[in-house]
Structure formats: structure tokens, C-alpha cells
Amino acid sequence: MDFSTSLTDKLASKTGSSNSLDSSSKSSSLGSKHGGGENGVLRDTPFSYLDGEEDQDQKNDVTYVCPYRGPVFGALTITNFRLYFRSLPLRDQEPPVVVDVPLGVIARVEKIGGATSRGENSYGIEIFCKDMRNLRFAHKQQNHSRRTVFEKLQTNAFPLSYSGRLFAFAHAAANSVNGSGGWNGWAVFEPLAELRRLGVPNDMWRATKLNECYAICDSYPAVWAVPKAASDDFLRRVAQFRSRCRLPVLSWMNPRTQATITRCSQPLVGVGGKRNSDDEAYLSFIMEANAQSDKLTIMDARPSANAIANKAKGGGYESEDAYKNVEINFLDIHNIHVMRESLRKVKEACFPTTDDSKWQTAIDNTLWLKHIRCILAGAVRIVDKVETMSTSVVVHCSDGWDRTAQLTALSMLLLDPYYRTVRGFEVLIEKEWLSFGHKFQQRVGHGDNKHSDADRSPVFLQFIDSVWQVSQQFHNAFEFNEHFLITIVDHLYSCRFGTFLCNTEAERVAEDLKHKTTSLWTHINSSLDQYLNPLFPSFTHGAELVLRPIASVRSVRLWKGLYCRWNPGLCAPQHGCQRTRELLSKQDQLFRHVNELRLKSNNRSNNMQTTTRLASPMH
């Protein structure tokens, strides 16, 4: 990659909005499909509509109970994509209070107060969001406005619970009619091309489409990389001894040493300690594919007690007696239920109010930073084995689609600078999270009203948080900035794009998401300038090839830019996108100046050489 041009060449011609949830939107008015005024007169709208966005309800006498400024009176608009409130300023020059929330962000909606409620603002609706916010709107009892607002929020925020479809489908359909053009984000990741980048196929590894119809493992991708010594029939037998048939397949290979990272689920050893000769031989194939080492390391993401307890359910872990030349390490990362409760405590600590005297204690009690530190520490241990010891590593947890993805993706990010570019990070998410079956639908709850579902958990959020933690220790190692990461988190929930919909690659193929929805990467790559890091090396390949972050409590800190962004007392307003564009523009000027100086220097050298030759005595 030519770092001298990588940033400046990517500056988009248009300036994107700094609001990650509302950029690249389409201006419209409250007419035709967006709702007309009386006698068909069109009215101006306070925000820009997206393609496919249509009005569902509007109330002009709603009070937003702001936890920081107190009650503010204004108008509430509900579309099939968002809830939008704008206050009516009481004084000239007073900026309005604006609340703009994609409906996909909403976790649940509850009515507050009843017919007998008499207190001010005691009758209305409370909205609980997945992005750390709670919103409360008060309605007047006499006009029954609450009823229709509640019904519209329910049916549009949770369409799958009401036989509807997510907004991503309407958005893409309207976008194709109106002409989207531009770059196709669905083309970012091509499995065979990524394997070729890693050096596969080679003497020891091959690519296979054995799972092309998702018949061997319905939660795995269609294309795998496996040891060449393993036949397709052998792979089928090995799959039967792994939970959910998720047998070990290649995630990453060190091009210099051939040490690998493979991922899988737990073996089905059970209480009786069952053995499987095919599974044992298969791990030997993985070890032997690396000529640099005669050992194989298994990184089990779970606490050892949890791994032992899983034996009672038919699972468990590899015995070092049964698997020769294998060492097993437990990384003490807790399960999805522990993480869900931890994030709930973070929300309580950050929103809506905080006690300065108890702030640090409150954050410590969430255990969130402890969990992030464990994920970082686990990834660093994998990096050490692969890079320093040249030992291949197998990573798994229970089913191999939550903690396993955290560890493989983060360790690959630390090992391979490609994944620290914008394009590479998009490939990393497509590969390690989407194609390998992280259950985004169940973990996030897209479009359903089952807010208390035990399958919901912030697993992917923890990965993005971990990436941010690394970026804070290595400021110039990443081509992308914090806004890029926050944008990904926002659209994890928004349901505007098809990227994070469904649970598996098989489901996405069945839903034909590549043709019926738009990719998030299309949106990001069409306005790339706002996501670039001005500190990323441009003159030299100066970024470290392998990153080894410090995974200690002292080095891990709360990501206020994400978790506290709605609390003005904890997070000052950010103008990062504008600042980024200014720095990139300045950098472009410096590039030109340096090139001019180099050109002058080269011309001067050439002139001196010419003069010297002319002045030389003739013999």
C-alpha cells in the first residue's frame, strides 16, 4: 500500500454529515408520500428524509421531559425509520432541543400514567434505547394523542413482531428506484480473494466449498480453508464431534512462519470424557501444517469452571491426555448473560445523571472494564503464541460465535496491519463476525419486541470497544478514526442497512440481502473523508507491523465518546468530523509542499551533476 497517497486519494468529493445516523439522506417535504398539508399544500419538514422513509404520525403538542434542561414543548414526528422531536423555542435566538432516534435503536416502549394521573408531565410514554438513552414524552390526556403514538412506535420499531419488514428493505427499494449509483459495499469481502491474500491454497492448506449449501454446518460460511491432509469425508466426521458442527477452520495465517489461527466450537466430550480419533487427528493436521512448531495451543475463552460445567450438557474441552502435543489455556471471559448485566450497570452509571463523588466506584462496580481487559489480554496471548512462539492456535468458547469471534478478530487486528485500514476492517467484520455466524439478530434484537430475551448481549459492542482501546494506545496505527467505530455501532442498531441483519450467512443468502438491502460499507465508503485518521502514516510504513497493547486495568478506560455522549455533563459536544477534515486538508497541503521541495532538490542535484560534467577536463 502506498501510504503517501492513501489518505488524500480517498477524500470524497462531497462532505458527509457529521451525524452518523442521518448522513447521505434525501431532502423532502411533508407532502405526497411524506404527508400532505390541507388542500395538498406541501409543508417544510425539520429534517431530511431518507429514501423509502414515510411519515406515520405527527403531534404538535408533545412535551419532551429532558433530564438536563427540563420539560420542553414541541412537535413529534414518527416515520417508518425514526422518531424526531423538535422543541418550539420560547425566546428568539434560543437553539431548539432536537431528538432524532432511529426506531431500530428502541428496545422497548412503555406507557406511563393513566386516566387518574394529575401531576405535571405524568401521563405519556417512556422509550428505552439500546444506545444508552431513555426518552420520556408527556402527552395531554384529553386529546388521546398518546394512543396513536404508542401504536405507531410499536408497529414501526418492532415490525417483525407485527408481520412487517425492517426499514432496510424499503430504503434499498426506494434507493434503487431513485438511482443510488456509487460503490457496492457488498463487494468488500470475497472469501477466496481474502484466502489468496493469506497465501491459501498452499502446500499445507486448501480452500473447500464443502459447505456451499450450508448442509454440514448451517452457521458457518460456504467457503472454508482447511488442512490439505483432511478429505471432505473426514471433515464431515470431525464436524459431528463439535458443538453445532462448527469444526476448526482457518481464520488467519502468518505468511512468514505459517503459524495459524483457527476457530471452532467446543468438543462434545461430555461427562464421560468421550474421545474422537478423527477430531484428535484433525488437530494434529493443524499442528503439522506449521513446520515451525511441534505444539498446538488451544485458547478456550471461557473460565475453566464454565468449561467443566459444560460437560454436563454434553460439551466440555480438549483433554491434554487425549490430544497429543496440545496445551490448553482458559481465558476467563464470561458468558453473554454476565456481559448483558454489566452493560446495564454502565447505562445506570452514565445516564441520565451521575454523582461525581461516586463516579469511579460506579464504573468499577459495573465490571465492564474488567471484561474488556480480559478480551484484550486474551488477544495479546494469542498474538504472543503466533508471532513470538510461531505456534498455531485454536480458539473456541462454547458454540464459537461470540467470545471466539471477539478473540480471533481482535488478535488478527493486532497481527495484520491490513485489518487496521478501513477496507481491511470491513473485511474483518464480514469474515470473522458475519460469515462465521455471530447471531446479530438474536444478540441485538432487530425489529422484535422481546426486550427481555436472554439471547440479547453486547458481544459485538465489546469487540468495537476493544478496538477503540487499542487505538488509544497506538494513535497512528489505524487508518480510521473514532467516528468510524461509533458509526458502525449506531448502524448495528438502526436497521437502515442490511449488513448486520439475520444470524448467519445462510439466512442472509435466503433473504437475498445483497440485492434487497444496501450495505453499510456502501454508505461509509461513499463519504470516506469523515472516517479517516489524520495521524495514520503517509510518508513511511511507520505503523507497527504487530501491535501489543497493554492489557491492564490502568490502561483500559471507559469510552466516554460512546457511552456518555448523551450526557452533556460527562461528554462535551464533539466536532471530530470537521476537525478531521481540517487536518486532512492541512496534511494534503504539507504533502504538496514536501513534493515541491523534493522536486526542487532533485532539479538542483541534476543541475550540479550537469555542471560538473561540463567542467571536467578532457583527456
Active site amino acids: 397
* Helix/strand number for the chain, H first, E second: 20, 14
Cβ atoms of residues 372 and 465 within 8 Å: yes
Q: Is 401 annotated as a binding residue?
A: yes
**Sheet of strand 55-66, all strands in order from the earlier edge strand to the far edge:** 98-102, 82-87, 70-79, 55-66, 134-138, 124-129, 106-112
Euclidean distance between the first and the last CA atom of the chain, given in angstroms as a whole number = 49
Q: What are phi and psi of 203, to 5 degrees?
A: -65, -25
Q: Is 278 annotated as a binding residue?
A: no
In our burial notation (b when 16+ CB lie closer than 10 A, e otherwise), range 519-530 reads bbbbbbbbbbbb
Q: Is 312 annotated as a binding residue?
A: yes
Closest to 125 (Cα-Cα) out of 225, 134, 206: 134
Q: Is 424 annotated as a binding residue?
A: no
Q: Please state the separation of Cα 557 from the chain's center in Å.
A: 19
Q: Is 211 annotated as a binding residue?
A: no
Cα dihedral 240→244→248→254 (10° resolution): 170
Q: What DSSP string runs through 275-292?
A: --HHHHHHHHHHHHT-TT
Q: Is 397 annotated as a binding residue?
A: yes
Q: Is 300 annotated as a binding residue?
A: no
Please state the three-class secondary structure of 137-160 as a single string: EECCHHHCHHHHHHHHHHHHHCHH
Q: Is 403 annotated as a binding residue?
A: yes
Q: Is 313 annotated as a binding residue?
A: yes
445: left (phi over 0), alpha (psi -120 to 50) or beta: left
Closest to 21 (Cα-Cα) out of 494, 446, 601, 609: 494
Q: Is 441 helix (H, G, I), strand (E, B) or coil?
A: helix
Q: Is 335 annotated as a binding residue?
A: yes
Question: Which residue numbers belong to the known binding site?
Answer: 310-313, 335-336, 397-403
Binding-site sequence positions for substrate: 310-313, 335-336, 397-403
